[in-house]
Every structure is written in C-alpha cells, then in structure tokens.
Amino acid sequence: MKVHTFVTDTQNPQIRGRQIGERWAEQIRQTVSLYLDFFSQVDVDPATVRSIGEASLGALEAWSPSLALEVVATAEAAGLPLWQLAALNARTEILAVMPTPPEGECSTAVFAPPGANAPRTIQTWDWHDALVPHGMMLQLTGSAGLGVKLFTEFGMLGKIGVNSAGLGLHFNILHHASDDDSAGVPVHAIARRLLEEARSVDDAIALARSARVSASTVLTVFSRHDASPRAASIELSRHATAVVLPREDGWITHTNHFLAPELVPGERTLDVSTTYARLDHVNGNLDAMTGKTLASRAGAMCGEPGEQAPICFHPDLSLPPKERWETLLTIGIDTEAFELEYAEGNPVVLARSGSVRF
C-alpha cells in the first residue's frame, strides 16, 4: 500500500468533497471498483450492495447532513454514480451481511493512565492487500472548527485519527449476531464525526450512542487531558452500544471480538479467527510497551516472535485475494502534538526502518 497525503482547510463539506474527488479521482474510482468486485467474490448480491449503500447514505444524511453532502460532492467530482461511493462508505455494513463473517482485522493498544503524560498508542491495520493499493492521510478543518488528521481508504470518510482538541481514535471491526441489512449509519462516518466534533471521551461516547448502526465496530477513543474517563472502547452493534473502560493500570486493548459482557453472548466470530490469539499476545507484552517512542512500542508489541507474531499478517499469494491478509499499516496517535505517526507495513518494519509523522 502506498500512502498519500492531502491537506484542505475549508469547512464547507461540498467544497471539500469536490477537492478530494477532483484531486484523487483515479484512486477513488480504483478503490470503488476493487470493492464492488470483492463484494461479488464474498457472495453479496450486487442488488444488495446497491440497496445497502443507498439506504446507509440516507441514514447518514439524517444523522450528519454535512458528511452526506461531502459524499455526494466527492462522487460528482470523481465521476462516479452516487450509489457506488455510498456503497464504499458502507463497506462494513455490506460485509455484515456476508454469509460467513470475515477474519478479523487490526490489533490496538492504548496506554492512558491518569497523569500529565499523553496516552501512548499503537495499532496494526490488517486487511486484504489487493483491496488497498493506495491509502490517504487527510488533514481537514471539521464542522466545529477543530483540526482533524486521519488515515482512511480513498473515497471513505474516516477511520483512524486525531483532532486538535486532543482526542484520538483507533478503529477495529467486530461481528455480532444482530448485524443485518437494515443499513444503519456507516461506522466509518461515525469515526469521522467523532473526530470532527468530540472534545472529550464523554463527548465521543454520547455522539456514538446517537447513531443507529447495522454493523459492528469498536472505536477506541482517548484524550490528552487528564480526565475521567480518559480512554474507552466504544463497542457498537445493532443490539446495543457498550463502553469498555481501561484496566486499573491504564491499558486498554482490543482486537476483533466483543469484550463488553452484555455483547459477548452475541459474538459472531469464526472459530478459526486469530482475534483471541492476537489479544492474548498483545496483553502478554504490555509491560514492555510503555516506551515513549512508537518504535519501541512497535518492537515490544511483536516481542520475541518478531514478524512471526500473530499480530503480523503476511499475504499468501497462492490464495485468492478474498483470502489474503496483510498488515498494511502500523500507526500511533500523538494527541499532544496533534500528529499521526505511521509506517507502511507491520510493527517490525516500523521498529527497524522508522516512521513518518503527519
């Protein structure tokens, strides 16, 4: 995956959408095409893809009109039918109706004990390598005037990021028995609105609770300010939204299964999923992961197994694209400096070769 950067300072969602759509039309069209083909590969009917995309855009318009306007403007500027870009933004909602849930993606660890020090964080982003030849680091000014920096896929509203109020957000997919085709607000749009508007963890929780969802995800949010709560994993599902707080030592970790007691009984994860092994691996290395630098945390996160650690995915090119996984990005969030620090690849790559600050 090649990461590109783009900075825009307009608060007008239509202007911003046009800017992104015009500048990155080729990458957006390619991403849409790859996803539409992928949905067919995993047995989601094209008519279902379109209907969920369109209905999810309608849900977004009711919940956040400005973000819906940005999607419309981006589609127009990129020369795409609106339903196709809507389906891309609703990719998690579409994947929620797959006959068999996909393997998990992403391992997250946030160290946010009380005190003056800002949280120290790290996440791997694992996904199908063939779906994301390009990714984007985007800087914008949100609807509430906050600066936002985020990583996302081209054409998608949001994913992982930080805002100038000192709030950071990591993003992991989940699967619940209540997931369905009712086309809720796209979870990637929820992440984006939290970054645009939330100034505290409590703000983020309230905003997330206000959205009706049809697909499951966990948004792990945290603040540079010494408040209570300072961090939380917000587990979203159609059944309920639950909040998981850090351990007493300040650590909060998440992979791709529910942790909230009220949501665990509805867990819909394949027995072969690596999510439990990855969480056990991360939790087993936490004592070494409190370092000030992202490189030190990345090395410690993999531990003695290095690139063979369960948190590092390597694509098997003998498999079809829908079955291949790769750790495409390792990223940390600096809420004090309002920066994202990242490297293309797994944590060992970052620890060995360095990172980029955005």
- The pLDDT, as a whole number, for residue 179 is 96
271 and 351 inside one domain: yes
The CA-CA-CA angle for residues 311, 315, 321, to 5°, reads 125
- The pLDDT, as a whole number, for residue 309 is 96
- Rounded Cα distance between 9 and 214, Å, is 32
157 and 34 inside one domain: no
59 and 118 inside one domain: no
Say if residues 105 and 280 touch (Cβ distance below 8 Å): no
* Pairing label, strands 2-7, 134-141: parallel
**Is residue 4, in this structure, part of any structural domain at all?**
no
**Is residue 132, in this structure, part of any structural domain at all?**
yes
Bridge partners of 162, per DSSP, are 149, 168
149 and 229 inside one domain: yes
Which residue's structure tokens are 């949280």? Answer: 119
Q: What is the pTM of this model?
A: 0.97
140 and 65 inside one domain: no
Bridge partners of 340, per DSSP, are 333
Residue 322 structure tokens: 């829908």
- Rounded Cα distance between 185 and 216, Å, is 11
Q: Any idea what the CATH number is for the domain that residue 238 is in?
A: 3.60.60.10
Say if residues 328 and 345 touch (Cβ distance below 8 Å): yes
21 and 120 inside one domain: no
79 and 113 inside one domain: no
Residue 161 structure tokens: 């990021």
Residue 211 CA: distances (Å) to CA of 56, 186, 191, 193, 236: 12, 9, 11, 11, 9
Rg value, the chain, Cα: 18
Q: What is the pLDDT of residues 71-123, one digit of tens each?
A: 999 999 999 999 999 999 999 999 999 887 766 679 999 999 999 999 999 99
In one-letter notation, the amino acid at residue 347 is P
* Pairing label, strands 2-7, 356-357: unpaired
- Rounded Cα distance between 342 and 358, Å, is 8
For the chain, the domain total comes to: 2
- Rounded Cα distance between 278 and 122, Å, is 14
220 and 125 inside one domain: yes
In one-letter notation, the amino acid at residue 23 is R
Of 40, 75, 95, which one is at a domain's C-terminal end?
Answer: 95
Low-confidence ranges of the chain (pLDDT < 70): 102-104, 271-272
139 and 244 inside one domain: yes
**Is residue 101, in this structure, part of any structural domain at all?**
no
Residue 180 structure tokens: 């369905």
Q: For residue 225, what are the domain limits?
A: 107-357
Of 95, 130, 153, which one is at a domain's C-terminal end?
Answer: 95
Q: What is the pLDDT of residues 147-188, one digit of tens each?
A: 999 999 999 999 999 999 999 999 999 999 999 999 999 999
User: What would the DSSP string read from start to end of 118-130?
Assistant: PPEEEEEEEE-GG
Of 60, 95, 130, which one is at a domain's C-terminal end?
Answer: 95
- Rounded Cα distance between 222 and 204, Å, is 9
Catalogue the E-assigned strands of the chain: 2-7, 107-111, 120-127, 134-141, 147-153, 160-163, 167-173, 217-223, 231-236, 241-244, 251-254, 326-334, 339-344, 356-357
The full 3-state SS of 289-311, as one line of letters, equals CCCCCHHHHHHHHHCCCHHHCCC
- Rounded Cα distance between 330 and 245, Å, is 23
Sign of the Cα pseudo-torsion (229, 232, 236, 241, in order): negative
